[in-house]
Amino acid sequence: MATRGVFRHSRKDALCVAMVVLQFVGLCALLAAAVANGGTGASLAAGAMLALVMCWCSNSVSHIHLHKPLFRARALNSAFSLLMSVMIGVPQRIWRHRHLWHHAGEPDEYPRLRLGAQGVLEIGAVAASWLALLLLAPRVFVVGYLPGYLLGMLLCWMQGRYEHKSAGREASGGISCYRWLYNRLWFNDGFHAEHHRYPGEHWTRLPARTADVEAEGEVAISRRPPILRWFDDIARAADSIGRSIATKANLLQARALVALERLAIAPGRIQRFMLGTHRRALARLIDSLPRRPRRVRIVGGGHFPRTAIALAEVLPCARLYIVDGSEENLERARVILAARGLLARVTLVHAMYDAASADSDVDLTIIPLGFAGDRAAIYASPIPHIVHDWAWNRAGCAASTIVSWLLLKRVNLSRTPVAEIAEIAASQPSELFDTLRDTTPAGALAAPVAKRTMPR
């Protein structure tokens, strides 16, 4: 794509040169104003512009020039490199050496730097400009220029780092961003995967290389420009912290509820009140199902099997399974159920329950208020769950009813394709819950944590 005239590759490179000249003039004007004014505000403004110019130029025009020198004449290329060296405070010969090492895959052995006359000239020009500003206006240099330079280095590092990282994934071949505005302002720097595959391609032709790169394999793409991709890391960290806090809160809630449960299990009016309110609430939700469950998993509750006792009356033909991580609780439940003549209908399973890795051998799962796991995964499951929750949390579920306002408690039926299962129930009742299992996402039907499945 050679041209006749000043520019070697494309007349569009005049835009690159014009942007650098405009920014150089603007930066010099701000620094001159800061020197004349002597104020902190003017110094900080000059430093801020320096940081932005460093980040933009290093990753756009300077980057283009080191790969494909813009001018035909060697003298013009050297002069342009010298101008950018002074403007951003980075000798271009050193920058080019490091960048080509990056393209080589950043080998452990760093190649020897040969400065040559051009490199010495660039280092001397940068040092002279710094010394002149320091002697002429030390306050501007210390308050404005130096902090701006350090910030610019940080922005350059972030740009380079996140050109190969996005949302936790890394790609040595680069990650592209196809945002129109970003690529107009940064001269197609967003086509980074294309650039790494074809480093000698002129910036104007990089978009045409996308199809070639895609033909060789999947192209890593991000919707954010590199300089903004650190927001993804913050979002991931915040999500992780939020999940950790929620888990700890659930554990504290579970422990508090276990302590309160001791008051409710003593024989007498409180126990009868608790059994009656829970039995009626569970009956209302079960009546909303298109078919009465035949196999019900009860998570927890071994300390006092209230839910099992209530369901034994609501579902007299159902097989019940109590899953509890405490052998002591299960032994206590065994004694209580035996005393009520219900032990033959209940299977006790010693295991920790995890909604993301539970089997689908049951038609319904009951989740206690004190459940310390991921409640969001339970509500999102297509398999029916009845979830004990606080009175104010209806959770957008398929059905819900209050257990007792005195207890501040309700039970929710998790989101279920009600219309679909009603249609199936009317036409093929025996296949109802098999259909529900078939709609479960991949991986959600794995064996439970304790490596035990429900006995049939």
8 Å CB contact between 235 and 229: no
Per DSSP (E only), the strands in 121-279 are 165-166, 169-170
8 Å CB contact between 24 and 83: yes
Question: From CA 437, how far away is CA 332, in angstroms rounded?
Answer: 33
Q: Using alpha carbons, select from 137, 149, 147, 134 the residue that is nearest to residue 90.
A: 149
Q: State the sign of the Cα–Cα–Cα–Cα dihedral 84, 86, 91, 93.
A: positive
Considering the segment(s) 234-438 as one domain, its CATH architecture is 3-Layer(aba) Sandwich (3.40)
8 Å CB contact between 427 and 418: no
8 Å CB contact between 411 and 387: yes
Residues 6+ apart with CB under 8 A from 191: 176, 178, 183, 206, 207, 209, 210
Q: Distances in Å between the alpha carbon of 267 and those of 25, 262, 308, 336?
A: 87, 11, 17, 12
Question: From CA 177, how far away is CA 162, in angstroms rounded?
Answer: 11
Residue 48: how many other CB atoms lie within 10 Å: 16
Domain boundaries along the sequence of the chain? 13-162, 234-438
Question: From CA 339, how far away is CA 326, in angstroms rounded?
Answer: 20
How does strand 319-324 pair with strand 346-350?
parallel
pTM of the predicted model, to two decimals?
0.58
Question: From CA 277, how far away is CA 279, in angstroms rounded?
Answer: 6
Residues 6+ apart with CB under 8 A from 96: 66
Structure tokens at 266: 């003593």
Per-residue b or e along 388-403, where b marks 16 or more CB atoms closer than 10 Å to that residue's CB = bbeeeeebebbbbbeb
8 Å CB contact between 209 and 197: yes
Structure tokens at 121: 């000239």
User: Rounded to the nearest 10 degrees, what angle do helices 327-339 and 306-314 cross at?
Assistant: 40
Q: How does pLDDT run along the chain (456 residues), one tens digit per residue?
A: 556 789 999 999 999 999 999 999 999 999 999 999 878 999 999 999 999 999 999 999 999 999 999 999 999 999 999 999 999 999 999 999 999 999 988 888 888 888 999 999 999 999 999 999 999 999 999 999 999 999 999 999 999 999 998 877 888 889 999 999 999 999 999 999 999 999 999 999 999 999 999 988 878 899 999 999 988 888 777 777 766 766 666 666 556 655 555 554 556 677 788 888 989 999 999 888 888 899 999 998 766 788 899 999 999 999 999 998 888 889 888 988 998 899 999 999 998 887 666 666 788 889 888 777 777 777 777 778 889 888 888 766 778 899 988 888 888 988 554 444 444 455 544 444 454 444 443 333 333 333 334 443
Place of tokens 């913050």: 234
Quickly list DSSP for 79-116: HHHHHHHHHHTS-HHHHHHHHHHHHTT--SSPPPP--H
Report how far apart the first and last C-alpha atoms of the chain are (Å, whole number). Answer: 74
Place of tokens 């950018």: 84
Q: Is 202 helix (H, G, I), strand (E, B) or coil?
A: coil
Structure tokens at 32: 């001159």
8 Å CB contact between 248 and 201: no
